[in-house]
């Protein structure tokens, strides 16, 4: 069947108003699922590259130029005009010479650090009140607008970065205060004879408040960071995530050794003493992966320096440059934890290693060294 191509009377005004989005299979499945209503949101402030967010993932939007232009066409308008469209007419609305490519990316959660700088919540905090007109608040709603991440990734990022929600205001907890509360929780479990896999929330939070002045709004959020809360027969119980609590306890000791290394044996001894006999067997150096470097400056014994991946540049080029300035060669299992937050999965991490590092085989195994372009 033949069609007559006609330009729309509004084609000049409509030029550039249409965009083609090439969706990956996982987003297509979301749109095709009739049981759910997917939410797609484009986020980005002026000066930022836009990203596309689903409920739980973030994607970059990249413009790709097409070799041939694509015409956006529609049926003729319902009303006749001077162009006298007939039944076989097809109206050209726009011409497209590029598409927007959608690829998975890590959420831009690093922005939280600058947005929340100077807003730490510590032990010397005054009694929490609902209204505080003297301080401009940064809220969860603000974060959803300004941080390029899906809702699920933002919630996980707030948890991982130990950021409290105090009456709607986001405030990172002082790490020293967090370490103190972790120790109080462990001690309270022993003193109150509470099983760590089924702790009555009310009993534990009441003890923390009455005996140590830890506000309930703080203690309940910390319990959620380090375990899960279940409701049964009108009562809430906390199941402790042993590994995450033990890890935080170990980090609280390791953070004091950013310049002066601590012997591994001394760290393990202090770590086990902090968590007590109940959890001493759960202490494992693997829990601190991505937060330390092995040093030999403390005599002949192995020693560790605090070196957190969270403080490295987010840009892969800058991160690899920093890593290879710190060490001129890395084993694969040692460098991998320092790349987990700049790669969406192990496949992309391997691509980054191929791009920025050179693999060298030795009797000790495969080592990675810097390429000249880094």
Cα-flanking dihedrals φ and ψ of residue 106, to 5°? Answer: -75, 145
In this prediction, residue 241 carries a pLDDT of 97
pLDDT tens for residues 53-65? 999 999 999 999 9
| Of 13-22, 123-132, 213-222, the least confident | 123-132
pLDDT tens for residues 298-347? 456 789 999 999 999 999 999 999 999 999 999 999 999 999 999 999 99
Return the higher-pLDDT residue of 70 and 208. Answer: 208
Mention the CATH class of domain 175-240: mainly alpha
Residue 11: is its pLDDT beyond 70? no
What are the strands, taking DSSP E only, across the chain?
4-7, 21-22, 41-43, 51-53, 58-74, 89-105, 163-166, 169-172, 199-200, 227-232, 235-240, 262-263, 292-295, 303-306, 329-331, 357-362, 365-370
Cβ 302 vs Cβ 269: under 8 Å = no
Cβ 196 vs Cβ 278: under 8 Å = yes
Average pLDDT for 164-169: 93
Cβ 197 vs Cβ 240: under 8 Å = yes
Query: Identical fold at 4-105 and 175-240?
Result: no
Cβ 340 vs Cβ 300: under 8 Å = no
Cβ 164 vs Cβ 225: under 8 Å = no
The pTM of the full predicted model, rounded to 2 decimals, is 0.84
In the chain, what are the helix, strand and coil shares in percent, each to the nearest 5?
35, 25, 40
In this prediction, residue 9 carries a pLDDT of 67
List the chain domain ranges: 4-105, 111-172, 175-240, 258-310, 312-374
- What does the DSSP assignment read for 269-282? HHHHHHH-TTTGGG
Rg of the Cα atoms in the chain: 27
For residue 53, the cross-strand partners are 41, 58
In this prediction, residue 103 carries a pLDDT of 93
CATH 1.10.3470 fits 312-374, yes or no: no
Local confidence band at 295 (pLDDT 50, 70, 90 cut-offs): confident
Q: 4-105: which CATH topology?
A: Immunoglobulin-like (2.60.40)
Cβ 293 vs Cβ 305: under 8 Å = yes
The rounded distance, in Å, linking the Cα atoms of 274 and 250 is 9
Local confidence band at 374 (pLDDT 50, 70, 90 cut-offs): very low
In this prediction, residue 343 carries a pLDDT of 92
The rounded distance, in Å, linking the Cα atoms of 262 and 270 is 11
């Amino acid at each position: 069947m033949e069609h007559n191509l006609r330009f729309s009377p509004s084609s000049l005004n409509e030029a550039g108003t249409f965009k083609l989005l090439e969706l990956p299979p996982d987003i297509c499945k979301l749109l095709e699922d009739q049981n759910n209503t997917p939410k797609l949101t484009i986020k980005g402030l002026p000066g930022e590259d836009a990203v596309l967010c689903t409920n739980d993932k973030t994607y970059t939007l990249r413009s790709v130029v097409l070799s041939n232009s694509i015409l956006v066409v529609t049926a003729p308008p319902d009303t006749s005009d001077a162009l006298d469209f007939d039944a076989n007419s097809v109206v050209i609305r726009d011409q497209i010479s590029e598409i927007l490519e959608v690829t998975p990316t890590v959420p831009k959660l690093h922005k939280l650090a600058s947005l929340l700088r100077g807003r730490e919540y510590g032990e010397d905090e005054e009694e929490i009140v609902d209204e505080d007109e003297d301080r401009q608040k940064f809220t969860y709603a603000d974060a959803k607008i300004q941080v390029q991440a899906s809702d699920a990734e933002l919630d996980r990022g707030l948890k991982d970065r130990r950021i409290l929600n105090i009456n709607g205001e986001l405030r990172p907890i002082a790490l020293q205060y967090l370490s103190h509360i972790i120790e109080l929780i462990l001690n309270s479990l022993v003193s109150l004879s509470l099983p760590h896999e089924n702790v009555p929330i009310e009993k534990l939070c009441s003890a923390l408040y009455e005996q140590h002045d830890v506000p309930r709004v703080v203690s309940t959020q910390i319990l959620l960071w380090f375990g899960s809360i279940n409701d049964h027969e009108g009562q809430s119980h906390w199941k402790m995530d042993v590994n995450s609590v033990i890890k935080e306890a170990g980090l609280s000791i390791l953070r004091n050794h950013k310049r002066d290394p601590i012997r591994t044996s001394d760290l393990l001894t202090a770590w086990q003493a902090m968590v007590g006999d109940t959890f001493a067997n759960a202490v494992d150096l693997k829990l601190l992966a991505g937060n330390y470097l092995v040093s030999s400056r403390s005599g002949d014994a192995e020693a560790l320096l605090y070196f957190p991946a969270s403080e490295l540049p987010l840009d892969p080029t800058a991160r690899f440059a920093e890593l290879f300035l710190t060490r001129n060669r890395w084993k694969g299992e040692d460098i991998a934890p320092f790349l987990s937050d700049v790669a969406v999965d192990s496949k992309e991490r391997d691509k980054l290693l191929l791009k920025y590092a050179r693999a060298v085989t030795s009797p000790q195994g495969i080592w990675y060294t810097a390429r000249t372009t880094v």
